[in-house]
Structures are given as C-alpha cells and as structure tokens.
Amino acid sequence: DGGITQSPKYLFRKEGQNVTLSCEQNLNHDAMYWYRQDPGQGLRLIYYSQIVNDFQKGDIAEGYSVSREKKESFPLTVTSAQKNPTAFYLCASSIETVPYGYTFGSGTRLTVV
C-alpha cells in the first residue's frame, strides 16, 4: 500500500544535540512538507520541497534543516539552534503544488530531556 512513513514515532533528545526525523513516501508525489504541531497552535510549516534537490523555508524554519536528494525522502534535522524543539512533527506529500489534498504521515513526537 502506498503512503508516508515517519520514523521514529517517539524520539528523545538531549539539549544541544542534533536529531534527524525520517520521512519516506512511495506515492510518487513531487511535493513534500514538514509541519510542526504544538498544543493549541495548529500546524505550522517548517520547510517544503516541490522538486528533488530544491526546498524552501516555511514560516518557522529557524533551527531546522532539510535535504531532498531523492523524490521519496525528505528528512528533517532539528539542530541545537532550535530553542524549543519539543513538539509533534508531521510530514506530508502532495501530487503537485496545486493541492488535491495532502497525504500525511503518522508523525514523530520529539521530546527534549
């Protein structure tokens, strides 16, 4: 079955460490997205990529980095520069930039300990 796989489901990070969240899709979608969800804040866009080897900053990109070396993969690195990284992170993809609806992964819950 086609879909988006995010791993791990739960992740714990010590302060000062970088950590990478995985996002893989087998839907042959061109566009991929990373959102951050905080309680009562809705979803906020971190980064997005419309094509391989290209990506754009979203509304809250500071402290994060991404790469898009393959169409299927869009990993997100939470760097030590991100001051408040504890949150729920959702990856999504869409067939093209004019959205027919995003397909979302099941999310990664990151906690700084």
Partner 1 sequence: AQKVTQAQTEISVVEKEDVTLDCVYETRDTTYYLFWYKQPPSGELVFLIRRNSFDEQNEISGRYSWNFQKSTSSFNFTITASQVVDSAVYFCALSEAQRSQGNLIFGKGTKLSVKP
Q: What residues make contact with partner 1 under the rule CB under 8 A?
A: 31, 33, 35, 40-45, 48, 50, 56, 58, 88, 90, 92, 94, 96-107, 109
Q: Which of 77, 71, 26, 67 is nearest to 51 (CA)?
A: 71
**Minimum distance between the CB of residue 63 and partner 1, rounded to whole angstroms?**
20
Helix count (H) and strand count (E) of the chain?
Answer: 0, 11
Closest to 91 in 3D by CA, of 41, 28, 46:
46
Closest approach of partner 1 to the CB of residue 113, in Å: 20
CB nearer to partner 1: give 13 or 102.
102
CB of 90 to partner 1, least distance (A): 7
CB of 85 to partner 1, least distance (A): 17
Pick between residue 80 and residue 88 the one whose CB is nearest to partner 1. Answer: 88
Q: Which is nearer to partner 1, 58 or 63 (CB)?
A: 58
